[in-house]
Chains A and B, each alone.
Chain A
């Protein structure tokens, strides 16, 4: 890799780190100021709204199957329903994920056997 390419890698890495790091420093200072000033809102409402919505968007993006097709969409639907059902009963993090992946896998493998 040429030295120019290394500079590009380092610039991308540093820029990405700063985009993750600097907003934290800004918010920590804002929270400190807010502790001394009751009139200042701790987190702007639009920002606290974006947190859960970003997770929902990541979920939407991740729903796209690796190999899109009718069967993989069916497997996705069944996997989602099984994940939701197990979460509804257990209210934990691990079991619903394991059950969802298992259900998705069973549908994909059964479809593979049938074809």
Chain B
């Protein structure tokens, strides 16, 4: 019993890391691209790594270096960076019911990216309370370190890597949609949920294809939520079941 109590947190740590491995398929190629683009924009390798370490938010980092390179006013650079990241405000409250009373949780929120949220939202409710902190720390830390490491790699040798392993850079990112598909598949529990999820996925994809990647996530989620509520309204009017 005591053995289990002492070994569980470290096992939870490792489980978190193992379950975050699919994220690397998407993180590393994008981080390499960021490192490469940042150095091409005039940042040194160390500066690119520090930006990835401190800001740690993919899309906004690309915007940050792009706007700085274009000579945009710095107040606008900061405002746009924060505007893109504003979607993150809904993530932590959704995890809060599953978080324990540890003081580490607020600081661990630095690692709460879109992808880490998706995995944590599915996995934390399934874990015993004693393992959640370890699991999240392992998963978030691996994702963060892979992002920093990928940036360093891209800043130092990005051009050569892209030229030599172009195909791997095309294949590995599919790990992200595959992972998210596995995470949302169990949510298709009713016609109402299925419709809301399908509309969200479709709108997010269409917005991305139109070049509106930065607004795709919050806008598609809001459309899905509106669909969820309107389906309830229509079926209630006909006196049928909601679900």
* Chain A residues close to B by CB (< 8 Å): 1, 4-5, 7-13, 15-17, 19-28, 31, 42-43, 46-68, 72, 75-76, 79-80, 83-84, 87, 93-94, 96-97, 100-101, 104-105, 108-109, 112
Contact = CB atoms under 8 A, between A and B. Distances in A.
A53 B81 contact: no
Interface residues of B, number: 91
B109 A100 contact: no
B74 interface: yes
Interface string B88-130: 1111111111010000011101101011011001110000000
B205 to A, nearest CB: 4
Contact of B74 (A8, A21, A54, A105): A8
Contact of B89 (A19, A46, A51, A60): A19
Contacts of A64: 205, 208-209, 213
Contact of A80 (B122, B181, B200, B224): B181
Contacts of B78: 8, 11-12, 15
B36 to A, nearest CB: 14
Given A56-B220, A93-B123, 4 more contacts: A9-B64, A12-B60, A20-B92, A94-B22
Contacts of A28: 96, 99
A80 B43 CA distance: 38
B171 A101 contact: yes
Nearest to B94: A51
A21 B167 CA distance: 38
Contact of B109 (A20, A76, A93): A20
B196 interface: yes
A58 B81 CA distance: 18
6 contacts: A9-B51, A12-B55, A12-B64, A61-B208, A66-B29, A83-B178
Interface stretch (B141-149, B152-160, B182-190, B233-241): B182-190
Contacts of B88: 16, 19-20
Contact of B115 (A23, A43, A58, A83): A58
Contacts, number: 261
Given A24-B105, A50-B221, A56-B200, A62 B26 contact: yes
A52 B114 contact: no
A100 B89 contact: no
A61 B26 CA distance: 12
A55 B184 contact: yes
B89 A76 contact: no
A50 B90 contact: yes
Contacts of A75: 174
B45 interface: no
A28 B102 CA distance: 12
A109 B172 CA distance: 13
Contact of B217 (A61, A65, A94): A61
B187 to A, nearest CB: 5
B181 A15 contact: no
Contact of B97 (A20, A43, A94, A105): A43
B68 interface: yes
Q: Which of B183, B197, B207, B221 has most A Cβ within 10 Å?
A: B221
B217 A100 contact: no
